[in-house]
Amino acid sequence: MLPEVLRHLRCPVCGAPLAAAPGAVRCPAGHAFDLARQGYVNLLRGRSPGTGDDAAMVAARETFLGAGHFAPLGAALARAAEGHAGRDGLVVEVGAGTGHHLRSVLEALPDRFGLALDLSRHAARRAARAHPRLAAVVADAWERLPVADACAALVLDVFAPRNAAEFRRVLAPDGALLLVTPAPAHLAELRGPLGLLEVDPDKARRVSEALEGRFALASSESLAWTLSLAREDVVAAARMGPSAHHTAADVLAARVAALEEPVRVTAAVQVQVYRPTPNAA
């Protein structure tokens, strides 16, 4: 575990700092958490009700993102990070998935270290390998995050659960939350033909309500681009998202086979920067 990240981690049981031990990390009270062979550490306090993305969803996400289809988003995040990273502090991504976007941000911030948090151990396994300055931890975004107060210069949340109180606690007072949400047009051309779930049209309002009182919007950028996809990319796009378990593999394959290549699809996201408000609860 990278010492630059480990010093900011906290025991999920008692909140004390964690230190390196052979094959594990451990707090002074003796709560110990094994380092997985694949390089991440599981800091869940007990069983979590959810599991996060399964192995197939994470593999699909790796394939899709690895093909560069979301490169404009990576570039936008890198720009936002450069403008808001302050002088020091971690870059913490919540629901980091494969660590793909965190890698883009760390490449733009050569003196920073990153922490990828995800409930899925399949995701943590991939994220642990995503960048040499990144550490991966299994944690539940709806619990207290296993990190110190005010340790983060940036919190990233890309299509992931948003726990406003915890984001506020872990951010430095001059830090920023970089939040990415899908716009209604996102992957819209695939929704009908493949039977994917719709983006909640009320999403933007629900997001701003959830952050109200703790964060103030500093900037908002609508980003849209056109994807030109092979059929296998379309399958990966369907398999990596919330609709992954809604359609049987053979049904999906038949629907995708009916599409004409290249399949032109809109990617449309909102990239928002929020500043923590002073005197937050």
Give whichever of 28 and 66 is closer to ligand SAM, judged by the CB atom.
66
Q: Least distance from C-beta 114 to ligand SAM, angstroms?
A: 13
* Residue 229 binds ligand SAM, judged by CB under 6 A: no
Locate 84 and state its tokens: 């808001």
Mark the segment that binds ligand SAM (CB under 6 A) among 36-44, 93-101, 103-111, 192-200. Answer: 93-101
* Residue 161 binds ligand SAM, judged by CB under 6 A: yes
* Residue 53 binds ligand SAM, judged by CB under 6 A: yes
At 58 the three-state DSSP class reads helix
Site string for ligand SAM, 7-46 (x = CB under 6 A): ----------------------------------------
Q: Could you tell which of Zn ion, ligand SAM, none binds residue 133, using a CB distance below 5 to 8 A set by kind? A: none
Give the residue ranges of DSSP H helices in the chain: 3-6, 55-66, 71-84, 100-108, 121-127, 164-170, 188-194, 203-211, 231-240, 249-257
* Residue 141 binds ligand SAM, judged by CB under 6 A: yes
At 92 the three-state DSSP class reads strand
* Residue 142 binds ligand SAM, judged by CB under 6 A: yes
Number of CB atoms found within 10 A of residue 73's CB = 21
Mark the segment that binds ligand SAM (CB under 6 A) among 36-44, 135-143, 207-215, 227-235. Answer: 135-143
Applying CB under 6 A, the site for ligand SAM has a residue count of 21
The per-residue DSSP string of 239-272 comes to HHSTTTTTS-HHHHHHHHHTSPSSEEEEEEEEEE
List Cα–Cα distances, 279 to 14, 85, 238, 265, in angstroms.
26, 21, 42, 43
List Cα–Cα distances, 265 to 96, 145, 233, in angstroms.
24, 36, 11
Q: Least distance from C-beta 124 to ligand SAM, angstroms?
A: 9
* Residue at 248: amino acid letter: A
Q: Could you tell which of Zn ion, ligand SAM, none binds residue 28, using a CB distance below 5 to 8 A set by kind? A: none
Q: Is there a contact between 67 and 233 (Cβ–Cβ < 8 Å)?
A: yes
Q: Which residues bind Zn ion (CB under 5 A)?
A: 11, 13-14, 16, 27, 29, 31
* Residue 97 binds ligand SAM, judged by CB under 6 A: yes
Binding residues (CB under 6 A) for ligand SAM: these are: 50, 52-53, 61, 65, 95-97, 100-101, 118-120, 123, 140-142, 158-161
